[in-house]
Structure 1
Amino acid sequence: MNVSARQKLTLRHYVDGFLRLVRVRNLLIVALTQYLTRILLIGPREDWYLIIRDPAMFLISLSTVLIAAAGYVINDYFDIKIDIVNKPERVVVGRYLKRRVAMGAHQVLNVLGVLLGLLVSRWVFLVNVLSVTLLWFYSAHFKRLPFIGNFVVSLLTALSLLVLTVYYPDNRHLVLVYATFSFFISLVREIIKDMEDVRGDEAHGCRTLPIVWGIRQTKYFLYFLISLFVLTLFLMADTLNNVVLGWMFAALLLPIAWLVYRLMKADTRRDFASLSSLCKLIMLLGLTTMLWA
């Protein structure tokens, strides 16, 4: 969207800006992943229609989506100057939405998300409060520190699945396997994104791994993480004595090997952006293995 003057802004611009700010597509993926986890992993699968109509499941998913949306808002609020350098075409706060409007939206979304969780159970409420707190500190402080910001985002990704086990304890160990999968691939992707955004991050005083260690050392660390990722998945599948799951993870070694190969060759912002997309694809492929888990 190319708007040269504020007087040209229309209601459509504001709505479109807000929808881009909260990453609607990502929120839909979060909700879909939670419902697939509930149906395919927790089950029973034959009761899928009842699960879709389950009010508690709806409230848990909606609360997660609202808190995630609030996280996107506060992240962009704190990152205006960095995003102007790294992703100027995606800047919304300050262009389509005033800063105070963004902060107000963040607070409303968080309050609604936490209260909806409380309607389900106090434990879901506590997980939601933890998520809100981590998202705030991530955006305000952790994101600019080496590794801890990457770790927090990845942990929150895993929590979006683990929160289901708080209320639905069946097959908790199987859900943990996929939460671990989501954690590791998110961690790898977050570090790759830091490699992609190193120019803007460095200009504004961030201390991410690529800035502190350099690109080469960060790559070595990613090789270690990916190895640990693969080893952990196979150990968990073996612990569950799930042969099918083991074969599904074995099939994922092909795109993971391709990721490592591309990472070895990558040296430009465009290369790292492509690797980030490849991580998304691996996550999608991993989640599809739920059908046979």
Structure 2
Amino acid sequence: MQLRAYLRLFVDALKLSRVNNLVIIASTQYLSALFIVGHPSEYVSIALDGKLFALVLSTVVIAASGYYINDYYDIKIDLINKPSKVIVGRNIKRRPVMLAHQTLNALGIGLGLMVSWQVGVVNLICAFLLWWYSNQLKRLPFVGNLVVALLTGSTLLILGVYYGHYDLLLVVYAFFAFGITLIREIIKDIEDKDGDASFGGVTLPIAIGVRRTKYVLYVLMVGFFVALNYFLYRLDSLKMTGYFLILALPYLHFLLLLVRADTKIAYSRLSNYCKWLIVAGIFSMVILNI
């Protein structure tokens, strides 16, 4: 019986840390190191690089810490927006969640310092921004969305800090992750506006309304698409351009679904759609190197 309780606690802890997202983060960093920064002759040495492993692990544990503190502060809001998924305060008490957040942050910063002082400083800044986001920024229009998008892009750019140089291709993938995440975060705010408004949140949909927020999304999507094509032009890679032109089809489909969306379920599906767009974009690293 006790074993079952511990097992349930472990499963709840994994759910709280969004383990699926953590797998995507770790996979993205390793694929980027292998296929963007590295060369075929270096694949084995990159895969066995202990410092790279420490960097990836530090990113993952700080991200998990961010999810913990976010749910810690959002208990009342989540009881309105997603009552069936609330874990903090129900399955796991609040104090252990805060302790886990602090422990994971310390571990992530420590691992970063083992890699280099620069990585350690970046991890410290990211940990602080995740706490600030959960505590205040997410309740402000657009600011919280922008911070999360920047942090998502930084999971790729930190490889440039580690290797000491930034490849344009790495910047393109970081920009792709940033753009889709920014769009997704605003859509999530539309989905969660009722709970956010109940507890004093002033997110973009609350500040200017859902209709105008959708206009903001249209502008962002067009601007993002134009900017991405400029980067692809600078790369001058036929395979890369071809892949992202194919990816433009589901992107257009996503835009059409956004125009029609008018229910919480529709926005939830669009949020998941964004996640799959990110996965498809990152997967191109493998496809284009076969």
Q: Given the two structures, how large is their TM-score scaled by the length of structure 2?
A: 0.95
Match of 2:66 in 1: 71
Tell me the equivalent position of 1:280.
Answer: 275
Amino acid of the residue matched to residue 172 of structure 2? Answer: V
Report the counterpart of residue 197 of structure 1 in structure 2.
192
Residue type of the alignment partner of 2:272: S
| 1:139 alignment partner in structure 2 | 134
Q: Distance in 1 between matches of 2:41 and 2:216?
A: 43
* Counterparts of residues 46-195 of structure 1 (less than 5 Å): 46-169=41-164, 172-195=167-190
Match of 1:14 in 2: 9
Structure 2 counterpart of 1:54, which letter? D
Counterpart amino acid of 1:58?
F
Which amino acid in structure 1 is aligned with residue 249 of structure 2?
L
The Cα of 1:12 is off from its aligned counterpart by 2.3
- Give the unaligned 5+ runs of structure 2: none
Between stretches 49-58 and 241-250, larger displacement belongs to 241-250
AA paired with 2:177?
S
Offset at residue 28 of structure 1 (A): 1.3
**Which of 203, 208, 214 does residue 213 from structure 1 map onto?**
208
Aligned equivalent of 1:252: 247
Q: Deviations over 1:205-232 (max 9, x none)?
A: 1111111111110111000000111111
Q: Which runs of 5+ in 1 are unaligned?
A: 1-6
Amino acid at match of 1:119: M
**What is the distance in 1 between the residues matched to 2:20 and 2:245?**
29
Deviations 1:183-209 (A, max 9, x none): 000000011111111111111111111
Aligned residues: 286
User: Whole-Å Cα distance in 1 between the matches of residues 263 and 32 of structure 2?
Assistant: 36
CA contact (8 A) 1:67 1:113 kept: yes
CA distance in 2, matches of 1:203, 1:186: 25
Query: Following TM superposition, where does structure 1 have runs of at least 4 consecutive aligned residues deviating by more than 6 angstroms?
Result: none
Whole-angstrom CA distance in 2 between matches of 1:171 and 1:242: 17
Q: Cα distance, 1:252 vs. partner?
A: 1.5
- TM-score (norm. length: structure 1): 0.94
> 1:34 Cα shift?
0.6
Q: Distance in 2 between matches of 1:236 and 1:216?
A: 31
CA shift for structure 1 position 134: 0.6
**Contact 1:233–1:249 (CA<8 Å) still a contact in 2?**
no
Residue 242 of structure 1 is aligned with which of 237, 248, 259? 237
Deviation at 1:171, TM superposition (A): 5.4
CA distance in 2, matches of 1:230, 1:182: 13
Identity of aligned residues (%): 46
| TM-fit CA distance, 1:130 | 1.0
Taking the aligned partners of 1:114 and 1:75, their CA distance within structure 2 comes to 19
Distance 2:272 2:221 in 1: 16
CA 290–169 in structure 1, closer or farther in 2 if over 3 Å, else same: farther
